[in-house]
Structure 1
Amino acid sequence: MTTGPLSTPPSEARNHPINPWWVDAVIYQVYPRSFADADGDGMGDLAGVTAQLPYLEELGVDAIWLSPFYVSPQRDGGYDVADYRDVDPLFGRLEDAERLLDAAHAAGLRVIVDLVPNHTSSAHPWFVEALSADPNTEAGRAVRDRYMFRPGTGADGAEAPNNWQSTFGGPAWTRSTNPDGTPGDWYLHLFDSSQPDLNWDNAEVRGEFEDILRFWLDRGVDGFRVDVAHGLVKAEGLPDHHARPGMVTDAEPLAAAGDADAGEDVAGHRESNPQDHAHPVPYHDQEGVHEIYRSWNAVLAEYDHDPVLVAEAWVSPLERLFRYVRPGEMHQAFNFTFLLAGWDAVRMSDAITVSVQEAEKVGAPNTWVLSNHDTVRHASRFGLADPTRYPNGLGAEDEQPDEALGWKRGRAAAMIELGLPGSAYIYQGDELGLPEHTTLDDSLRQDPTFVRTEGAEKGRDGCRVPMPWRADAPGFGFAVGHHVNTGPSPVNPNTPATPGHDAGAAPLTAAAPWLPQPESYGTYAADRQVDVVGSTFELYRQLLGVRGELDLGTGAFAWSRFHSPELGVLAFTVATGGGQGGYDLDSGDHIPEKVALVMANMGQTAVEVPEEYAAAIFSHDEAMQDGQLMPDSAAWFLRR
């Protein structure tokens, strides 16, 4: 099936034609409510994304991934979907989504949309129908079978069917009320009680989601990021499981230096090695999920524009993660072991080594990621006293990161991520070096994790704070065309004025952003960085340009002889030009056309750089001193 026109994306323009576009694509995550606000109501929207597409063109990414914009009560930031085939009025209309698709394709950008198949909103018509149906009738049982309803245990069924806990805290079961007002069966929700889990043993559920895939593919979307891809199928009998599910508990980071099997990390925390981890969780990573994704792969194969399936699967060890990208299943799976490694050369080295090995076994590319809408931003995590920590949010009473140190390490980490072969994801604001909002007032928090843990965990609001576009504008210019000259964008001259507003009229008044930004965001605003030499934006733009020119995304990876993780040095080479292999990259024998060396100093002392390489890019102005690479710095080199 043929979809709408698409200009040649940067990845296709530079790579060997046999590679699908997603093999080495750099994909930019847009969290719509926090990207840009076109109508001035304080909430980001799809028209705002369309208005800022020139900014993303200028950055040089290949595609965007849109977090959910569907009709939703917004109990969990849109991941509680009430209608998968329409746009929530907060973000616009279906026509706005179609205009965004057309504009992105005209700009050479692919568009991936979020899909949430583990659960719906409790406001979804199916669940409303289930609650109103008589469970004692065949028709009532049929509509309830779309979800995970189960009778309770104990006297009069007053106790939950099992002991499962919600990812957001508290029990994973809520008791329903029958239409006659009597207590009913319990329904499962691995997340908030407003997000009932679907029953993927039900044929109607499977057919519905295949139809949803086609609905968006027919409109030209280029793929789907699948939320909780590892959670759809539950173990038969729903056996008890003592632990609370979490995004990290099922994908623990590799053991730290000196503890290769299992033991204490650098901060004295006890951690297991996921390479020894047998997956015991009865609601995650069950074998049945793979059948579902094989059927979805067949749906995507009906279309001729190479749409992609991307797994958000927090599973370990990596051997199990890469089962999701075996031939005929999904195409990408976020590498959370890499994300969780933190700023630690041994942990990151181990994560990369195993990732490359497992990817080769199944013939799939790696998919590297440092931050997203669910994680404390890596520029802040790397500024903690223990830069391998993975807190669930940070508040004013918590340890405050060293912002300058995190900034340096974040830029160096970007050089590692974007130098690795495979695909890479950039979370909005990473390219500006944005830190977490770590002092957000608790009264403003909206993440259900904060509520369900009674404030014990701050949750994800701090990484979802709206983007800063203009340093001198209210809300840092989040409301595009409001409070400022409504002509062309000061960040992107090609950005149109606010839709429906006369560019010569007086500035419109906008509501405050839905979450306030910290004062420090003025320093990071886009208008202070675009075309400013040495800025983080320009570093990312330069990295993406060189990555494309040298085909690093399809290159052949090898650890360099300069690699010394026990001394804090991470160093690898990439043979450029389409992934040619079979070379000894450090010996000089059979050297391919170009060899790039990526080197990061994650240790405490300066290190010598190889004389046979010429410097290409440094992570910051003071990264190289007296012929040495300084701590918390990185560089890309080319063989002389």
Structure 2
Amino acid sequence: MTTQETEAEAAYRAGREWFKSAVVYQIYPRSFADSDGDGIGDLRGIIGKLDYLQKLGVDVVWLSPVYRSPQDDNGYDISDYRDIDPVFGDLETLDELLAGLHSRGMKLVMDLVVNHTSDEHPWFVESRSSKDNPKRDWYWWRPPREGHGLETAEPGTPGAEPNNWGSAFSGPAWEYDAETGEYYLHLFSRKQPDLNWENPGVRAAVYDMMNWWLDRGVDGFRMDVINFISKEQSLPDGPQAEGMLYGDGGPYFICGPRIHEFLQEMHQEVFAGRDKDLLTVGEMPGVTVEDAALFTDPGRREVDMVFQFEHVALDQEGGNKWRPKKLLLTDLKKSLGRWQEGLAESGWNSLYWGNHDQARAVSRFGDDGQYRELSAKMLAAVLHLHRGTPYVYQGEELGMTNMAFGAISDYRDIEVLNHHREATTHLGHTDAEVLAALAPLNRDNARTPVQWDASRHGGFTTGAPWIAVNPNANTINAAAQVDDPGSVFSFYRKVIALRHSDPVVAYGDFSMLLPDDEHVYAFRRSLPDVELLVLGNFSGSKRTAGIDDGTWLNGGAELVLANYAPEAGEVPSFDLRPWEVKVFRRNV
């Protein structure tokens, strides 16, 4: 692997500014649009909505996994990286989707899930077949803990596992394999064994697969939990909080010892020298600002941007999503402001309120009742006008809300089902207690189908949907919004168009204002010749932004974006109505 950038690559990197003025739209295929009536979204359904995406104005589509999969974790458990699961279509249909996007000036980014595979992937089938199989070391296999073997502890119970790590989906992070008498590591579902990136054969196989997709025409990858791929090889016990069944292995696999080496090698083997604009996004739970500055420094050739999770843990006690708490706006500003500052000189931010793993933005950060439309618009403007590349999660542009699930049988997410079982069986909580804790932040909130119109099942399918459609689809849907100039959809179009047309949005400096105000989110974006002032009211009451700068209101600034219709005789001011956003622009 070379350590010095070639002249050609330096020129290539210098031209890769396109993503700074781009907007990414995430599609969760299972819930987007169903073309064949089986109740599950598919590639043909996406193709049928390409004109909708073009009208919205997005530049990139990020496609959650559509590879062959047993669907234990809705496709994030991959059994064949080079084929499409029949539930979604086939490779020819994927090629058709790719061509349709390219013909409309949009790019396609695939989800790359290479921290783990499915336990049905041929690599793992070989690996578990015997201790001396050539692929045994492609995964993390370990014998039972010394002194706590199977003669004293049943497989799968605390004590026998190689260490005390817990899985992100509840239970231990180890699964016992009776055929070989050893455990394999799975940081997520037991059907998602972790790949051993210490093995150069694993890395070579992954890079070969990535090159195969790029050669096919895709435009980059969103890399799932990519900062977990390097693990401390001794796999020590993690800290274990009182009352918890398992320890936290995070210190030994989050941004592990060889992570930068692996990502630089990936760049060299996959991306270096390609003559097209690509996008690389690293999803990185637990990443710090300092880490991200290294990962996204263009000179280090690792990834273009990271997905960080700090701001979406602020409404959780101790980072536990099943213990929700009130979000303080001052905490949100402190977090997002620190990321803006930390990546100001080098590196780049990903900007998002929601995705397939997060609750609906308007229900979480806004007001999904009386002020749903106004707060959805305000959230769009505040997020998209930060420095970074914004992401729109499907349905967010319509102001879709959380779903009210009545019983555990209404849920589909493995994370929810496993937590409910563990909490009611081992932790002593009642069904009602667990359901109440699940409601605000569960992942199925984001996975209810996109609401296309007011017909049965929201126009998502002619069959029975794999998960229920939100009953408010009869009023919140695309058909009611795409041609309404006052809709949430139309406001998103305006925000996206502003990023495309005004360089200050993509390239301007960021300055947080009013950091201690608990209701008003205010910041300035600036270039030498122009400034934007963004004011957002995160409350259902009237507020005034206490900015002591009269020059903005004395004829020198233009109101370029607002979510309230102008009133006759209205004078520009820093007064904000409930959930109001105002964006001023001035030349300097």
TM-score, normalization by structure 2: 0.83
**After superposition, where does 1:328-343 map in structure 2 within 5 Å?**
328-340=301-313
Secondary structure at 1:113's aligned position in 2?
Answer: strand
Match of 2:222 in 1: 225
User: Residue 511 of structure 1: which of 452, 463, 466 is its match?
Assistant: 463
Cα offset, 1:41, TM superposition: 1.2
Match of 1:382 in 2: 365
Name the aligned partner's letter for residue 164 of structure 1.
W
User: Residue 364 of structure 1: which of 327, 332, 347 is its match?
Assistant: 347
How many residues are treated as equivalent by the alignment?
519
Task: Tell me how far apart the structure 1 counterparts of residues 335 and 410 of structure 2 sit (CA, whole Å).
Answer: 36
User: Residue 569 of structure 1: which of 517, 520, 541 is its match?
Assistant: 520
Kindly indicate whether residue 331 of structure 2 is the aligned counterpart of residue 347 of structure 1.
yes
Q: Where do 5+ consecutive residues of structure 2 fail to align?
A: 1-12, 154-159, 242-246, 316-326, 422-433
Cα offset, 1:110, TM superposition: 0.6
Name the CA shift for 1:199/1:330 in 2 (closer, same or farther; >3 Å): same
Cα offset, 1:101, TM superposition: 0.6
Cα offset, 1:621, TM superposition: 4.1
Kindly indicate whether residue 143 of structure 2 is the aligned counterpart of residue 151 of structure 1.
yes
Cα offset, 1:345, TM superposition: 3.5
Task: Tell me how far apart the structure 1 counterparts of residues 378 and 265 of structure 2 sit (CA, whole Å).
Answer: 40
Match of 1:319 in 2: 290
Cα offset, 1:570, TM superposition: 2.2
Cα offset, 1:359, TM superposition: 1.1
Match of 1:309 in 2: 280
**After superposition, where does 1:157-556 map in structure 2 within 5 Å?**
158=153, 159-178=160-179, 184-243=181-240, 281-298=251-268, 299-326=270-297, 327-340=300-313, 344-361=328-345, 363-383=346-366, 403-405=369-371, 407-439=373-405, 441-455=407-421, 456=434, 458=438, 459-471=442-454, 473-479=455-461, 510-556=462-508
User: Residue 111 of structure 1: which of 108, 111, 121 is its match?
Assistant: 108
Cα offset, 1:402, TM superposition: 5.0
Cα offset, 1:338, TM superposition: 4.0
User: Residue 630 of structure 1: which of 571, 574, 577 is its match?
Assistant: 577
Cα offset, 1:235, TM superposition: 1.2
Q: Any conservation in 1 of the 2:311–2:336 contact (CA below 8 Å)?
A: yes
Secondary structure at 2:475's aligned position in 1?
Answer: helix
Task: Tell me how far apart the structure 1 counterparts of residues 14 and 61 of structure 2 sit (CA, whole Å).
Answer: 21
Name the CA shift for 1:415/1:287 in 2 (closer, same or farther; >3 Å): same
Name the CA shift for 1:17/1:301 in 2 (closer, same or farther; >3 Å): closer
TM-score, normalization by structure 1: 0.76
Task: Supply the RMSD in Å over aligned alpha carbons.
Answer: 2.6
Q: Where do 5+ consecutive residues of structure 1 fail to align?
A: 1-15, 245-249, 252-278, 384-400, 480-509, 584-591
Task: Tell me how far apart the structure 2 counterparts of residues 611 and 186 of structure 1 sit (CA, whole Å).
Answer: 67
Name the CA shift for 1:51/1:319 in 2 (closer, same or farther; >3 Å): same
Cα offset, 1:407, TM superposition: 4.6
Q: Any conservation in 1 of the 2:169–2:414 contact (CA below 8 Å)?
A: yes
State, as a whole percentage, how many aligned pairs show the same letter. 35
Task: Tell me how far apart the structure 1 counterparts of residues 567 and 356 of structure 2 sit (CA, whole Å).
Answer: 29
- My pick for the range that moved more, 513-522 or 369-378, is 513-522
| C-alpha distance after superposition, 1:242-288 (max 9, x if no partner) | 359xxxxx99xxxxxxxxxxxxxxxxxxxxxxxxxxx9611211131
Secondary structure at 2:44's aligned position in 1?
Answer: helix
Q: Any conservation in 2 of the 1:339–1:369 contact (CA below 8 Å)?
A: no
Kindly indicate whether residue 575 of structure 2 is the aligned counterpart of residue 639 of structure 1.
no
Q: Any conservation in 1 of the 2:289–2:343 contact (CA below 8 Å)?
A: no
Cα offset, 1:354, TM superposition: 1.5
Name the CA shift for 1:164/1:209 in 2 (closer, same or farther; >3 Å): same
Name the CA shift for 1:532/1:407 in 2 (closer, same or farther; >3 Å): closer
Secondary structure at 1:403's aligned position in 2?
Answer: coil
Task: Tell me how far apart the structure 2 counterparts of residues 402 and 353 of structure 1 sit (CA, whole Å).
Answer: 25
| C-alpha distance after superposition, 1:583-604 (max 9, x if no partner) | 4xxxxxxxx0x32211112355
Name the CA shift for 1:243/1:403 in 2 (closer, same or farther; >3 Å): farther
Secondary structure at 1:566's aligned position in 2?
Answer: coil
Task: Tell me how far apart the structure 2 counterparts of residues 318 and 123 of structure 1 sit (CA, whole Å).
Answer: 37
Task: Tell me how far apart the structure 1 counterparts of residues 477 and 90 of structure 2 sit (CA, whole Å).
Answer: 29
Name the aligned partner's letter for residue 325 of structure 1.
T
Secondary structure at 1:323's aligned position in 2?
Answer: helix
